Amino acid sequence: MNAPDDMDDLSGLDPDEAMKLHSNYLRGTILDSIADPVTGAMHDDDSKLIRYHGTYQQDDRDVREERRKQKLEPTYQFMIRVRVPGGVVTSSQWLAMDALTCTFGSGTLRVTSRQTFQIHSILKENLKPSIAAVNAALLTTFATSGDVNRNVVCSSGPMPSRQHEAVLGWAPSLSHHLLPKTHAYHELWLDGERIDPNSEHEPL
């Protein structure tokens, strides 16, 4: 997520890949974007980087044309996606996600074909408390968007079997293994300890 010392010439690299390499391990200027009161949007590069933290910048399509005619900024809002290896959650986690979308989102909890949740219509100022609420339920949004694996799925098993139990056991293990190693997520969204990026290593 940061440019190695021997990669000074990035002229042939895809612009998004170059952006990631220079993002300070996915930190970018996301905190500045969130604090910017002038716009409901993230800064250009940050609007791409936040995908790796589990959120997409969108706008309200129902009022898009009317706001364009009025020369107003689009009504920016965000979708967050939850990481649920194998699609298995407890009843309390389900209720926590339902409460989250009622508090900060559209009031509708969407279950996806990747066996996870999406919560829509979150405003920029509510991104941090929303992501914190997901983590308080012992779930995460980390690396659920962008060019990553997003979620590790597992075939549903309506009948108990040792084979399904073994496969389901691999889902969280693979999910954890494939996560980026950067501490940026915990720093930005969960007020975690700030780590010197020079001490970080990103094998992927």
Residue 60 domain-assigned (yes or no): yes
For all residues of the chain together, what is the average pLDDT?
A: 90
Tell me whether residue 8 is in a domain.
no
Residue 10 lies in a domain: no
Query: Comparing 183 with 201, which gets the higher pLDDT?
Result: 183
Residue 86: name the closest of 147, 175, 179, 199 by CA. 175
Least confident of 61-65, 144-148, 155-159: 155-159
Print the domain residue range for 128.
Answer: 15-199
pLDDT-based confidence at 147, cuts 50/70/90?
confident
Number of domains present in the structure of the chain? 1
Does residue 164 register a pLDDT over 90? no
Taking residues 67-88, report their average pLDDT. Answer: 94
Structure-block tokens of residue 87: 């699609």
Q: How far is CA 34 from the centre of its chain?
A: 15
> How much is the pLDDT for 29?
96
Is 102 inside a domain boundary?
Answer: yes
